[in-house]
Chains A and B, each alone.
Chain A
């Protein structure tokens, strides 16, 4: 008798989830469907909208893809470079905290997330102060050390935007990497060393040199392309920075990387590498704050276009189409990346 009044045991989890899931359906799923409808519509907020099924305007997609190709390119290049730089800074940092942190571990982790306790906008404003023409960075590098010419400025260049993005999303890179490196069984590393895994001289030299050269050339082209508006850096500076990168990368690879790291630790941390790069890439490719506050009209990313189309021009159809193109781009990038890293390892790690 009493039993029939209570919900059956099988219904309990569904009842627990119902309110939260309903919220997500109403304010996440339905809005995205509405945005899809807008992306196929015509008109603006002022003139009113013609929506499907009366119109079915695919022109919003094809037209804006052509029109804003430069902004898409900026987003992909800046977001990609920022993710790469975050990885280069974040992996050694996460490794150091996980393996060498000792009693400092909690403090170091706290310091990694400390930037989140200040406002995102204020952090970006801080970089504007630091990198400004009268700011501390240039007063050291330009005025005191004289490394760059007097008319050199950083604000307004791709370097400033990529630098800002790298800073903002570094904690998103470090935390998942830390979690996955921390999980690596130390006994496996000891076993590898017992089995004569030593320093990784020749492999490290070659891999480091190739990696360093590729990175420097990518940075050179990535940072140069938007500021020079199509000219691109000549082959000579790219060659010089490539050689520099190869030398530095080779030196680091041959002295610092051990066989046990490359054969045990790194492969075991790959699921974390995957999660961390995605968590860094997604917010950085969609960001518009850094490009607005640190960049110039030439460095506007697709986020800047979406926000001004939505909030200033009320051109919802174009803006909605751009937002969906951004999502599509991200999904394609993730799929390609997952394939490149090897899906088996990833599903093994995430399951």
Chain B
């Protein structure tokens, strides 16, 4: 027992920051205490590695199975290594269109959601006004609503515009029904607004108002102050929010399934195809999206660490 704890001592001392183990504060640690701190240190580490591995397994499976040459129509069982799917990643009817629509929807939806959400976040953080608490609560509700309810309610209103009376005569035919690209984008902007608000709000919470006041004192008007001082400071938050919105949008299935009609995004296309077959191209596209997303996060982390430095050296 003592040999084990001697081994665990130096290795763990670096990791245990701030939390003094009970063994260090006592006079002479009992065997039980030593067992406790040993278990505490190593079991938690083993558990963490295990849990992270669990989270990674399906990603590894996706990447591995993009190199599979499946027997039969479904890429569910490993057969043999092949680069075929990677050489012809879009060689499936409808797949290229679905991917194009996914990217288009994500870009357009992110653009509008980021603008609308950032404006709300600015209002909520920078101004004290009567409806502020109510607005905060209202922003939270769509995030706490299951996606299936968001999708189902949007489908209800879109169908109602074509079938029920108050709407039927007011709203011109073809905007909301039949469903299509416009309805998908409307839905994506809707569910992304709240996420943008929350993300931008978190980043601009510690914003120093004195910088704006200084700019105004030096003769800048409100417009100039916003673009020269406010916007550069909150830009990292806006970029983070846009990236989050983009990734939620490109991955969304449930809401899109309800609002897409005959148009397919990539996830809707996968859902449709899996009834009849599952080509390895699905895994290739999935892997490609994963790699692009990881790259995007790496870049944004880099940009934000730079943005963070600018804020940190501001004069007090």
Interface residues of A, Cβ cutoff 8 Å to B: 10, 12-14, 16-17, 19-21, 23-24, 27-28, 30-32, 34-35, 37-38, 45, 48-49, 51, 89, 92-93, 95-97, 99-100, 102, 108, 110-112, 114-123, 125-130, 132, 134-135, 167, 170-171, 186, 189-190, 193-194, 198-199, 201, 255-256, 258, 278, 282-283, 285-289, 293, 303, 306-307, 310-311, 316, 319-320, 323, 326-327, 330
Contact = CB atoms under 8 A, between A and B. Distances in A.
A198 B77 CA distance: 51
Contacts of B193: 20, 23-24
Interface string B57-88: 11101100100000000011100000000000
Contact of B57 (A110, A130, A289, A311): A130
B294 A306 contact: no
B126 to A, nearest CB: 8
Interface stretch (B151-159, B205-213, B230-238, B307-315): B151-159
Interface in B230-253: 247, 251, 253
Q: Is the interface of B mostly helix, strand, loop or mixed?
A: helix
Contacts of B2: none
Contact of B135 (A17, A194, A287, A320): A17
A333 B28 CA distance: 49
Interface residues of B, number: 96
Contact of B147 (A100, A286, A327): A286
Given A17-B120, A27-B186, A99-B19, A125 B149 contact: no
A220 to B, nearest CB: 22
Interface string B101-131: 0000000000000011101101110110101
A150 to B, nearest CB: 17
B170 interface: no
B146 A320 contact: no
A279 to B, nearest CB: 8
B302 to A, nearest CB: 13
A197 B268 CA distance: 55
A292 to B, nearest CB: 9
A213 to B, nearest CB: 21
A16 B116 CA distance: 8
B6 interface: no
Interface of B: 14-20, 22, 25, 32-33, 35-36, 39-40, 43-45, 47-48, 51-52, 54-59, 61-62, 65, 75-77, 115-117, 119-120, 122-124, 126-127, 129, 131-132, 135, 138-139, 141-142, 144-150, 152-157, 159-160, 163-164, 186-187, 189-190, 193-194, 197, 247, 251, 253-254, 257-258, 266-267, 270-271, 274, 278, 282-283, 286, 289-290, 293-294, 297
A12 to B, nearest CB: 6
B161 to A, nearest CB: 9
Contacts of A92: 44, 47-48, 51
A37 B161 CA distance: 13
Q: Which of B25, B119, B194 has the most CB of A within 10 A?
A: B119
Nearest to B102: A119
A117 B156 contact: no
Contacts of A285: 146
A278 B153 contact: no
Contacts of A115: 55, 58-59
A13 B271 CA distance: 42
B286 A114 contact: no
A199 B190 contact: no
Given A119-B251, A320-B156, A311 B22 contact: no
A89 B51 contact: yes
A202 to B, nearest CB: 12
B44 A130 contact: no
Q: Which of A13, A20, A23, A258 has the most CB of B within 10 A?
A: A20
Contacts of A27: 154, 157, 186-187, 189-190
B147 to A, nearest CB: 7
A34 B157 contact: yes
B148 to A, nearest CB: 5
A121 B253 contact: yes
Q: Which of B144, B145, B146, B289 has the most CB of A within 10 A?
A: B146
B106 to A, nearest CB: 12
Contact of B163 (A48, A108, A170, A278): A48
B135 A93 contact: no
Contacts of A121: 253, 267, 270-271, 274
A14 B129 contact: yes
Contact of B58 (A37, A51, A130, A282): A130
A119 B293 contact: no
B123 A17 contact: yes
Given A99-B19, A186-B18, A326-B149, A93 B57 contact: no
A310 B155 contact: yes
Given A23-B190, A193-B20, A256-B43, A307 B148 contact: yes
Contacts of B142: 24, 28
Contact of A45 (B135, B157, B159, B253): B159
A326 B115 CA distance: 32
B189 A23 contact: yes
Given A16-B123, A32-B153, A96-B44, 13 more contacts: A21-B120, A23-B190, A27-B189, A89-B51, A92-B44, A93-B52, A116-B247, A118-B58, A119-B270, A121-B270, A129-B75, A186-B18, A310-B152
Contacts of A170: 55
Contacts of B164: 37, 49, 51
